[in-house]
Every structure is written in C-alpha cells, then in structure tokens.
Amino acid sequence: MLKTFRTIIRRDLLLAMRRPADVLTALAFFVLVVSLFPLGVGPEPALLKTIAPGVIWVAALLASMLGLPRMFAADHADGTLEQMLLSAAPLSALVVAKVIAHWLVSGLPLVVVSPVLAIQYGLDAQSLIVLVLTLLIGTPVLSFIGAIGTALTLGLRAAGVLLSLLVLPLYVPVLILGTGAVDMMSAGMSSQAHFLLIGALLVLTAAFAPWAAAAALRISAE
C-alpha cells in the first residue's frame, strides 16, 4: 500500500511538471489578485494592514480551487480511476495520496509566495509568520474538502459551477479562522485558539474527507 501511495504522488507530480501552465495559472492568479488590491484601495498603511489577511486568504482560497477539477478528471478520462477501484490498496488511502499531490502543486506554492506578497501590505514580522502558518495548516484543509466536491461532480456537466457551490460554503470556517488569527496577532492578542481550531479542522478533514471522496468516486465510476 505504501508503494502504491508513493507511486501515485510521484505520478501526479510528474504529470504536473509536464503541464507547468496548470500550476503557473493558479500561482499567477494568486499573485495578481493580491498585488492589485493595494493599487485599487490606495497606499494608506493602516487600511492595507487591515485588509491584508482577508485579501491574501481569499486569493489563496480561489487560487486553490482552480486546480480542483484536475484532481480526478485525468484519471477518470484515461481509465486510471477504474484501476484504482480494483487496486488492493484502500481507495481512501489513494485519495489521500491524490490530495497530498494536489496540495504540493496547488497549495504549497501559494504558501511560499505569500510572505513576499504580504510585505506590500506592511504586515509586521509576527503577523507575517502567523499568516504563513495559517496558510500552511489551512490550505491542506481546502484540498481535502475540495476532493469531496471534485469526486461528487466528476463527469457532470457544468461541474465547475457545481463544485464552487458545494465547496465554497465549507471553506468559510477556514477563511474566518485564518484571517482571525492574523487579526488577533496584529491586535497584540494570542491567536492560539485559532490555530487549535484550524488544526482540529485539518485532523477532521484528513480523517473523514478521504472516506467520503472514495464513496463519491465509486458512485461516479458507476
């Protein structure tokens, strides 16, 4: 099972490297959205510092959604999904491998770039660290939740619209906690409670999302 797990991650990463445009599109979207807001709202430092967590988190949320339809679409089209269903390894474990690969391609680059983009908003060093940490913990939650929505809408017409309607309401708690942690740190208060809640969401989604996505994939394959 571990060999299959590693093989799926390596395969998805290799496929992403062969299609760099898919990865760069989400990253470019994130960079453009975060960079354009200061130009639109003006150079007021206090205002920029106030809106920074919300802007960066919303941009990261939307950018991560751009790659969701590709999580299972290629496997569904070329018959790999049927082989995964027939594999001796649990389908939920294979879903976890797909989610990890998706996060490495779609989520991790956003986390790496976010400190550079946040500098233009005038965030202090502590708030900047909290922002990066919340993105590091929160973006995997987005990938796990997105896996459920992607599996449910696999092969359907207007799947992108349905996917947005399914996952966006579930993304709201992560968005609120992520921005709230940075706001608390900027106000000189502890953000530990927000980190604990985001961590709890990560554990919860990591435990139940693969099982739900696997069940949805079996329905879609039928």
pTM, full prediction: 0.90
Q: What is the pLDDT of residue 174?
A: 95
Which stretches of the chain drop beneath a pLDDT of 50? Answer: none
Q: What is the pLDDT of residue 140?
A: 94
Task: Give the orientation angle of helix 159-186 with respect to helix 125-152, to 10 degrees.
Answer: 160
What are the residues whose beta carbons fall under 8 Å from the beta carbon of 134, sequence distance 6 or more?
Answer: 57, 177, 178, 181, 182, 194, 195, 198
Neighbours of 190 (CB within 10 A): 10
Contact in structure between 106 and 15 (CB atoms under 8 Å): no
Helix (H, G, I), strand (E, B) or coil at 43: coil
- Domain enclosing residue 185, as ranges: 2-221
Q: What is the pLDDT of residue 179?
A: 93
Structural domain count, the chain = 1
CA 170 to chain centre: 12
Helix (H, G, I), strand (E, B) or coil at 220: helix
- Residue whose entry in the numeric block shows the structure tokens 């409670």: 193
What gap in Å lies between CA 114 and CA 51, rounded to an integer? 14
Q: What is the pLDDT of residue 81?
A: 77
Helix (H, G, I), strand (E, B) or coil at 90: coil
Q: What is the pLDDT of residue 157?
A: 72
Helix (H, G, I), strand (E, B) or coil at 67: coil
What gap in Å lies between CA 102 and CA 151, rounded to an integer? 14
